[in-house]
Amino acid sequence: MKKKFFTLAALSLCMTLAVAQTINLPAPNKSKKTATVMEALATRHSERSFSAQKLTDQELSDLLWAACGKNREDGKLTAPTAMNRQEIRVFVFTDDKVSEYLPQTNQLQQVATGDHRAIVAGRQEAVKTAPVMLVLVADMDKFKSNDQRAQTMVSVDAGIVCQNVNIYCEAVGLVTVPRATMDHDAIRKLLGLNENQIPLLNNPVGYKAK
């Protein structure tokens, strides 16, 4: 009986450590050759079909930095937020894990194992083949207010992060689509969110299906 208890305890510890894993991403390549902003705006469009080709760690790092990465020594980000609250949290869903992007250190903090892209796809199953799905969560606790004005401002802030993703993808040859559809309750449960942490938008990201 004692042996069984220690075996279960060891298994539980291993699972906890696996979920707590922090991954260092490569430094974002800020000199990457891309389309110009005007060119990206001229061709920007939404895609809902994705190839199976995965993003490299470098591509993922560049994508997340463009979305809301640290771009100044004072800790401010590529995406502005009201009063610099930095309340928009980005969660990365792939085929084997879910992680939160930590912009100040350019790291991924794993929060769950397994493929959970279906709960982000929700009713629109076609997009669940995207190799990366970014979920934008407004953390009202970080915003330090939850009134109507605050909810409006965090929605604007999430939209800015989403647009960063849209323009970046167009500039580098990736495809995406901004979405609000997702299984909000399942995402809250998976990520361990409280009632003040609200999934607002998501962006499936990948290469266009051929």
> What pLDDT, in 10s, does the model give residues 39-82?
999 999 999 999 999 999 999 999 999 999 999 999 999 999 99
CB-CB contact of 48 with 126 (8 Å): yes
CB-CB contact of 19 with 11 (8 Å): no
| Res. 195: pLDDT tops 60 | yes
Tell whether the torsion through CA atoms of 176, 135, 155 and 179 is positive or negative.
positive
- Phi and psi at residue 145, to the nearest 5°: -165, 155
Task: Tell if the pTM clears 0.85, that is, is over it.
Answer: yes
Tell whether the torsion through CA atoms of 151, 186, 137 and 59 is positive or negative.
negative
Q: Encode pLDDT of 84-142 as tens digits.
A: 999 999 999 999 999 999 999 999 999 999 999 999 999 999 999 999 999 999 999 99
Cα-Cα end-to-end distance for the chain: 56
| Res. 16: pLDDT tops 60 | no
pLDDT at 17: 46
